[in-house]
Structure formats: structure tokens, C-alpha cells
Amino acid sequence: MNIVPQDTFKSQVSTDQDKSVLSSAVPSLPDTLRQQEGGAVPLSTQLNDRHPLESTLKNWETTQRQRQMEQYRQIFGIAEPMKRTMEMEIVNRTDFNPLSTNGSIHRDILLNKECSIDWEDVYPGTGLQASTMVGDDVHSKIEKQLGI
């Protein structure tokens, strides 16, 4: 049972094996415009992330959820974590959103976060994962409009 997520530090960096946004012209070169980092990204930041705690914070909620389900299993048996996992899956698959917001009040209730205000609640879409999806940024829209 993990209380803190495991470290996911990279031991080596490869420019053509990286999962970051790559250029469509030359696959081994990173596309700095789509990364929206403000310039070229040194390999040292890919190797060490930006801060040693960043990898821990990315997996924090997942690890806490797994720990909580393991504790429920030990206390109540297998039925309680199964029920909660099925409820969460139903909420994730449901597209019912009467308020037309990015968040889901049903998901917040199941995660016991209905009374907390996070950064993502105030600024939606700006979580710890700063990577944008390909085709969803300004540069892709301009390329699509110009037919590049």
C-alpha cells in the first residue's frame, strides 16, 4: 500500500522515443510551437522534469484513490471498493451535465471533493499536465485554416 506515489524519474532521454509533441515534418525534432513552453526545451528538463516533486504530484490523486480502495477492501470486504469503482465508472461514462460546465458534481461527490475548491475549478483545463492535445492549440488551428 503506497501512501506517496513512486518516483518516475527518467534515467535516459531519447529524442525520437519521447512521447512529447513531435514535429510533423521531422519526427525526431520536438515541435516547440505546439509545446507552448516559450522556447526550446533543454534535454535536462526532460530528464529531471521541472522539479523533483512534480512526478509525485502528477500521480498523487491516483495513489490516494488506490490507497483508499485498499483500505475499504480491508475493512468492508471486496464489495465496497467494487461498488465505488462501478459508481465512478458510471459517472465517467455519463455525458449528462445540466450546468454545461467542465467539471462534474457527481464525480466530485464520489471523490469527496464537493466542498473543496482547486486550481482546476477556477481555471479549467490548466492542471499539472500542461501539455495540450495535438490539434487543439492555436498553431494547429492556423495550420488547418491555411491548409499547411
Confidence at residue 86, expressed as pLDDT on a 0 to 100 scale: 96
Contacts 24+ apart (CB under 8 A), 135-139: 137/34, 137/36, 139/33, 139/34
Kindly tell me the burial class for residue 34, based on how many C-beta atoms sit within 10 Å of its own C-beta (0-12, 13-18, 19 or more). buried
Q: Which 3 state secondary structure label does DSSP give 121?
A: helix
Confidence at residue 100, expressed as pLDDT on a 0 to 100 scale: 58
Look at 61-65, 107-111, 134-138 and tell me which has the smallest mean pLDDT. 134-138
Please list, in sequence order, all residues whose beta carbon lies within 8 angstroms of the beta carbon of residue 121, skipping any fewer than 6 positions away: 103
Residues 111-124: pLDDT tens digits? 888 888 877 777 76
% of the chain exceeding 70 in pLDDT: 54
Determine the Cα–Cα distance for residues 121 and 83; give it in Å rounded to an integer: 27
Which residue, chain included where needed, has cell 466542498? 115
pLDDT at 89: 94
State the chain's mean pLDDT as an integer.
74
Going from the C-alpha of 29 to that of each of 11, 13, 15, 131, the distances in angstroms are 20, 13, 7, 17
Grid cell, residue 59, equals 500521480
Report pLDDT for 132.
46
Residue type, 28: S
- Residue for cell digits 491516483? 62
43 contacts 36 by C-beta, under 8 angstroms? no
Instruction: Please list, in sequence order, all residues whose beta carbon lies within 8 angstroms of the beta carbon of residue 142, skipping any fewer than 6 positions away.
Output: 148
Per-residue confidence (pLDDT) for residue 8, from 0 to 100: 67
Q: What pLDDT digit, counting tens, does each position of 51-83 carry?
A: 667 777 888 888 999 999 999 999 999 999 999
